[in-house]
Amino acid sequence: MKVAVAGTGYVGLVAGVCFAEKGHNVVCVDIDKNKIAKMKKGLSPIYEKDLEELMQKNYKEGRIDYTTNYKNAYKDADFIFIGVGTPERKDGSANLDYVYEVAKQISQTVQKDCIVVIKSTVPIGTNDDVEKYIRKNLVNKVKIDVVSNPEFLAQGTAVRDTLQASRIVIGTENKYAEKKMLKLYENFDSPKVLTNRRSAEMIKYASNDFLALKVSYMNDIANLCEVVGANIEDVSKGMSYDERIGDKFLKAGCGYGGSCFPKDTKALHFLAEQDGYELKTVKAAIEVNKIQKLILLNKARKQFKTFKDMNVAVLGLTFKPGTDDLREAPSLENIPILLDEGAKIKAYDPIGVENYKKIYPTEINYVSSPQEALKNADICFIFTEWDEIKKVKPEEYKKLMKKPIVYDGRNIYSLKEMKEIEYHSIGRK
């Protein structure tokens, strides 16, 4: 089948490459000519495990191409996937401008019956509205059905999460569209959840927000553990044996980030408020996470009233390991405060430095190893649990820092191995 994909970020590009890998003919559309030229050379614009290899393989075998010419891409496609961003607005709502821009292009260019599939995370009811918009503005006399098909990928494992999906959710309003979608996905060996569009949209939000709730709950419990003298790692281990709870997303830390949890919790909370309902649990998760991102800095403030002229080592810039994505990363909350107070920062991240330089090109001394960041540092903050950082031995902190004072936001060391170092972590004493 011929598949066109609008957007070449984590959602669109990964979907397009995986459809090509499953044997479909795919063209990915983006407005950025430089990005398109890069992808034609087999270079991924995002850091994602296994993605470049599959891009190169399927491009060479003629199953995928990249273009800025949406007219040619959309006119005779069997399926057009919308995988563009839905960033957060200032009020917490989802910005659907990019979705409707693609919808406008589709209405003006399609020349045959096709299925329009919204893979972007959108508020409940958006698929209905987009279908009405496209049908109202169609230039040619064709049949268009809009389907909700949300993604459930995690950055760092996006390719695996797509090819070996935990479930494929298909939200349709008629059997014709459902049958077409099942044919598209027939080579994907994953459970298929067939429902209506609004339920499919809600499944995406409810799933992401539940995981955000779980993380925030554990962070809240971790903070209480410090107060009452319990150990969050023992607590989470004890909880994990309960099959009703499971062992995922029980790790305490300095807050969640990324492209999904922060904006999706706010978007669903905003949507509920618009309809006169308050999602108290989701609201609590948002509030807990906001506080948690600054927990290391607030701990350090009890010892240091100001960071002026202090040599600060920052280990980890991205919101999690395995990605170069900085969106909502804890480092972005803490580093501006440190810089504003006059701290001298040396930062290490194996992947995220180039993106960070776009924000702070000269204010930070970026180094090529954790050890270089630690050299002569007065204090160290760990924001991301990269393997390269986990491999730093406790004795290296003692050897390299002026005085080993470590604030670990990811609990990467045991208390026992750091007993000779002034070591502060989350939920442990």
Catalytic residues: 260
Contact, 225 vs 219, CB < 8 A? no
Buried b (16+ CB within 10 A) or exposed e, 289-313: beebbbbbbebbeeeeeebeebbbb
Reduced to 3 states (helix: H, G, I; strand: E, B; else coil), residue 126 is: helix
- Closest alpha carbon to 149 in 9, 327, 258, 12: 12
The torsion angles phi and psi of 258, rounded to 5 degrees, stand at 95, -170
Residue 261 neighbours by CB under 8 Å, 6+ apart: 208, 209, 211, 212, 215, 289, 328
DSSP-derived letter for residue 89 is: P
- Closest alpha carbon to 56 in 32, 35, 40, 36: 40
Contact, 77 vs 3, CB < 8 A? yes
The Cα angle at residue 338 between residues 337 and 341, in degrees rounded to 5: 85
The torsion angles phi and psi of 115, rounded to 5 degrees, stand at -105, 125
